[in-house]
Amino acid sequence: MLKASRLLKKYGIRSGILNIVGILGESLSECLETLDFTIQCRPDFTSTSLLYPYPGTEIHEIARKMRLLPETEIHFKETYYIHSPLNLPYKKKIENLQKLLPITVEFPRMRCLTLLLIKLPLGGLYNLIRRLHKGFCLRYKIFYYKLSLKEYISLVWRFLASKAG
């Protein structure tokens, strides 16, 4: 994957990496390895989600057997970009890292700062930063064609109003 990423860069082909953190049995240090590897790949766009074991899936049953899901039935109202329903060690740090990972990949020099930031209870702020960064990347790195003012306003409105973003 690293070799492929370097070839894409060499020939000016845009690339993106989609990560999942908070996987069953994954430690915080393994999540940080994901961050470091993604930084090495130097993608044009990165998106990171949390493992979200939806009911009826095999991963949901595995998580239930591992006692990583609450005993009471949970309602899956949020998306895999906000919170993990799993009872993980270092859960808040992993959730914060998930939100900060794409911007840390964009600005690798903030890697040490990210280690401090994931300890702070600022998940809501980090989610806002994640959404703004994602919107910037969508506009200028993925869909880099010229939008009309009407298209741009519509795109921003839909993005900010959505719960999934």
The confidence score (pLDDT) of residue 99 equals: 96
The confidence score (pLDDT) of residue 161 equals: 75
Mean per-residue pLDDT of the chain:
89
The confidence score (pLDDT) of residue 63 equals: 93
For the record, the structure tokens of 154 come out as: 């519509």
The confidence score (pLDDT) of residue 34 equals: 97
Do residues 97 and 120 touch, judged by C-beta distance below 8 A?
no
Residues of the chain with pLDDT under 50: none
The confidence score (pLDDT) of residue 41 equals: 97
The confidence score (pLDDT) of residue 8 equals: 95
The confidence score (pLDDT) of residue 145 equals: 67
Question: How many Å apart are CA 79 and CA 15, to the nearest integer?
Answer: 24
